[in-house]
Amino acid sequence: MESQAKRTLVKSAPELWELASDLARMEAWMAGLVGSRRPVSVEVTDSEAERVLAWRCTESGAHARIAIELAESGFGTAVQITAQHSRPDGDAATATLEDLLDELGSPERRPFARA
């Protein structure tokens, strides 16, 4: 099954790339996609800096792949996420991708910013 989510985020492609290419985040996002409560080991299958990042689950019994595409868009970056998965509930997978977009788009705390 395939699920997709897309949104324009008010962040630059380099900022989004830094967040998305973090291995711990990729493992957590994959866990959400396959319905695991713990991080799931992944392998990067495609990487074109600040444009395309794709990874797949490497654990047995779970077949899933996530791909993120970034493109400049006005005052932000258009982000499209596509996932191939074996979850029977496509709505849950789409919700996971929307959560991923929420995380990518959320403001990051700056080292000297007031809380």
Q: What is the CATH number of the domain that holds 9?
A: 3.30.530.20
Q: Tell me if 111 is assigned to some domain.
A: no
Q: How many domains does the chain have?
A: 1
Q: What is the mean pLDDT of residues 28-49?
A: 93
* Contact indicator for 34, 40 with CB cutoff of 8 Å: yes
Each residue's pLDDT tens digit, 39-64: 999 999 999 999 999 999 998 877 89
Name the band, by pLDDT with cuts 50, 70 and 90, for residue 12.
very high
Q: Tell me if 78 is assigned to some domain.
A: yes
- Find the domain containing 29 and state its range: 2-105
- Report the alpha-carbon distance of residue 32 to residue 28 in Å, rounded: 6
Name the band, by pLDDT with cuts 50, 70 and 90, for residue 35.
confident
Each residue's pLDDT tens digit, 61-109: 778 999 999 999 988 999 999 999 987 777 888 999 999 999 999 886 5
pTM, two decimals, is 0.87
Q: Tell me if 66 is assigned to some domain.
A: yes
- Report the alpha-carbon distance of residue 26 to residue 41 in Å, rounded: 9
